[in-house]
Amino acid sequence: MKLKKALFVLLSILFYQVARAQDSLHLNKGTFKELGFIAGYNYNFEDSNSRNYHLLEFGLIKSTYNNYHHPISSSIYFSNEFGLNTKNFIWGPKAGAYVGFWMFTFGAETIYYSDFHQGSLRLVPYLGIGGHLFKLTINPHLKLINKDFLPNTGNFNLTIRSLIVKKEKLN
């Protein structure tokens, strides 16, 4: 049942992106620069013998995007992840960037997870679907420092731009 719901949500997002790309009557065409807040959820996974982690994400994002026939976007962001079901308080400041074309998103981020006693630096390339409003991605973790801290090897991420602080039309 969960798989059917997830598939339904994924197909709905895909249909929306395809329909939006074909909409020639879109009233707000142009190139825009935007500053806003993001909120997200990360489901970190490992193998079946390890614990899976849930993290919330809050941050600031700066995007440039166009609303022409085929939407294109690029974004940089700074955010923080907070562990929900970890034994100790886990904090993960991160910085990242991504580009989106049509409905596909490609990017990378650097995260430093810490419980204030030890930490782990990670480089996280990712790909998925999305644009300047949201992204749904799969993120493999490349552990650079302290590979034993939070033994997760990757995560699924859903991030939504929740609030616009500043928006400017470029052309």
Please write the tens of the pLDDT for every residue from 112-126: 999 999 999 999 999
Q: What is this structure's pTM?
A: 0.80
Summarize the confidence of residues 106-112 as an average pLDDT: 96
The structure tokens listed for 6 are: 């997830």
More confident residue, 48 or 74: 74
| Tens-digit pLDDT profile for residues 25-67 | 555 678 889 999 999 999 887 766 667 888 999 999 999 988 7
Q: Which has the higher per-residue pLDDT, 114 or 7?
A: 114
Domains and CATH numbers, the chain: 2-169 (2.40.160)
**HSE on the CB side for 126, CA within 13 Å?**
31
Q: Is the pLDDT of residue 20 over 70?
A: no
Average of per-residue pLDDT across 63-85 = 89
Rounded (5°) CA angle 26-27-28: 100
**Tokens (6 digits) for 41:** 């959820």
Q: Return all residues near 19 (Cβ < 8 A) that are at least 6 apart.
A: none
DSSP 29: -
Q: Which bin fits 100, alpha (ψ -120 to 50), beta or left (φ > 0)?
A: beta
